[in-house]
Amino acid sequence: MLYFIFNPDVIGVLIAHDYGKGEFVLQVPFFPPQENIELDFTRQKCFHKIKSFLPSDMNFSHGDLSIHSIGQWQMAARIAENFHDKSRRVILMGDAAHQFPPAGGFGMNTGIQDAHNLAWKLGYIMQGAVEKIGSNRQELLESYQQERMCVADMTLKLSMRNVERTMRVPSALQLSHESARNLTHFLNSPTINQLLPNSMRRGMLKNLMTIGTLPLHLASSKNSLVGQMLQSRAREIVESRQSLAMLFYHFDIGYSYETEHWKERARALMKDTALDYSSYYALAYTQKSSKSQHIYRPLFKIGMRFPHIWLSKRSLNGEISTLSSLALYWKSIDRARTKFVGEDLEKKLVPFLLILNGDIVHSHITKSLQSSFENVDVISIKSGEVEDESGCETYFAKESDILWNEFRRSFYATIVRPDGHIGHIWPLPGKPLTLAAVNMAISSSLRLAVK
């Protein structure tokens, strides 16, 4: 949870890291070299900063607060030129590959996505199985950079847009982030550095910042008409979701590894008309409207994650999601647990998944395909209640499931990569799949970013 603080004594962001333990991080503006940690951020001064934004009638003493650390950091927005060296023996991911402003949780999400993309590819390489999926070491590692760099680049642009939107509230309170940045550039310019000693520049900073925060004195006054207008405008921005957003379904789980498609789509989703709906989610659009194109809904498209559908099976106790890939790959939860024992975990590759529309594909075709592949698991999904599985690896989806109905009415089969992204999809009316067609689809699924 984030708390944005604007009052005459302190401007900052209070971040709740752990409510249960009472752990918080307070971030406030810092202007080196005119300011320094040892002089301006002693524990005593930090205590008073914290106390200044608490309710005036709150009985707060030193014994109620423990300051763990005081430090500085600088916001970064950058991406590495390459995600691997020329020999592809050193690979970057997470903060080593990209750094974003802390506005939306993009750093953690994008880093996890990196690992998710890279892990299975390294597995195939290290176990010498790359050729079995129609690729080679160099091409498979190159696909990591091609797929992830585009996603990181679009996420970086989104994080900067989110910072820009966050600045609307201070702007409404007549606090200018741009003016503060220009002030630091001015005070640290070579000419001013030569003409004025740091002590004088320090005084200028303090006086100019005092002037710059005068609107907050008005905003905090109950008797000021101007202050009421400032508060009203800030409240309007927050309540209409025109400021900092925290959920971005399109970018967190709706991105695509078809890079050209994703670039175009991501740019459209960064416009204000779309960002105002970034936290909205729908399984289907009940009616077409101007905002429906901005609301996230799962799609069956190449390069995107295969959507969640609840499945049941005679041998399962309960339901399982199509997103629970390991349990699907190992055929059942019990078998999944068995595979995670001892050396089997190290030897077993996570295979590709061929999902068949069991309402269309006959069981004899399913049986034939299930016995044809080494690194592809084949499952059939049918509508209705659990019934005789006819010797096939069959799961059942409820006829009321919106996404399942969309899949069974539109598609014959699909290839899902080990990272859960759709590598290929066969629309209806489909023809019986051949071994060659499936192998070709697997091979093409490794080149999504260059299509």
260 with 310, same domain: the answer is no
Question: Whole-angstrom Cα distance, residue 233 to residue 358?
Answer: 56
Question: Whole-angstrom Cα distance, residue 17 to residue 152?
Answer: 25
- Give residue 350's domain range: 304-446
Residue 400: what residue type? S
Q: Give the model's confidence band at 345: pLDDT under 50 very low, under 70 low, under 90 confident, else very high.
A: very low
CA-based nearest residue to 415, from 360, 361, 353: 353
Question: Whole-angstrom Cα distance, residue 268 to residue 422?
Answer: 22
273 with 328, same domain: the answer is no
338 with 427, same domain: the answer is yes
Q: Give the model confidence (pLDDT) of 127-175 as tens digits.
A: 888 888 888 888 899 999 999 999 999 999 999 988 888 888 888 888 8
Residue 183 maps to a domain? no
Q: What is this structure's pTM? A: 0.83
Q: Give the model confidence (pLDDT) of 408-419 as tens digits.
A: 999 999 999 999
Q: Give the model's confidence band at 348: pLDDT under 50 very low, under 70 low, under 90 confident, else very high.
A: low
Examine the fold and report which residue of 235, 264, 294 is the final residue of a domain before the chain moves on: 294
C-alpha pair distances (Å), 11 with each of 63, 100, 151, 184, 450: 24, 22, 33, 17, 46
152 with 278, same domain: the answer is yes
Q: What is the pLDDT of residue 53?
A: 86
What is the percentage of the chain residues whose pLDDT exceeds 70? 90
Show the tokens assigned to 326. 């390991």
C-alpha neighbours within 13 Å on the C-beta side of residue 351: 19
Examine the fold and report which residue of 24, 40, 74 is the final residue of a domain before the chain moves on: 74
Q: What is the pLDDT of residue 390?
A: 63
Residue 164: what residue type? E
287 with 309, same domain: the answer is no
Q: What is the pLDDT of residue 325?
A: 59
Q: What is the pLDDT of residue 337?
A: 46
Strand order in the sheet with 376-383: 319-321, 310-312, 394-397, 376-383, 352-357, 411-416, 422-427
How many independent structural domains does the chain possess? 3
Give the mean pLDDT of 75-97: 92
Residue 90 maps to a domain? yes
Residue 220 maps to a domain? no
418 with 319, same domain: the answer is yes
155 with 288, same domain: the answer is yes
Residue 402 maps to a domain? yes
Residue 358 maps to a domain? yes
Residue 228 maps to a domain? no
135 with 103, same domain: the answer is yes
Residue 335 maps to a domain? yes
Examine the fold and report which residue of 26, 51, 74 is the final residue of a domain before the chain moves on: 74
Supply the CATH number for residue 376's domain.
3.40.30.10
317 with 265, same domain: the answer is no
Show the tokens assigned to 401. 């499931």
Residue 232 maps to a domain? no
157 with 24, same domain: the answer is no
251 with 362, same domain: the answer is no
Give the mean pLDDT of 326-353: 56
393 with 255, same domain: the answer is no
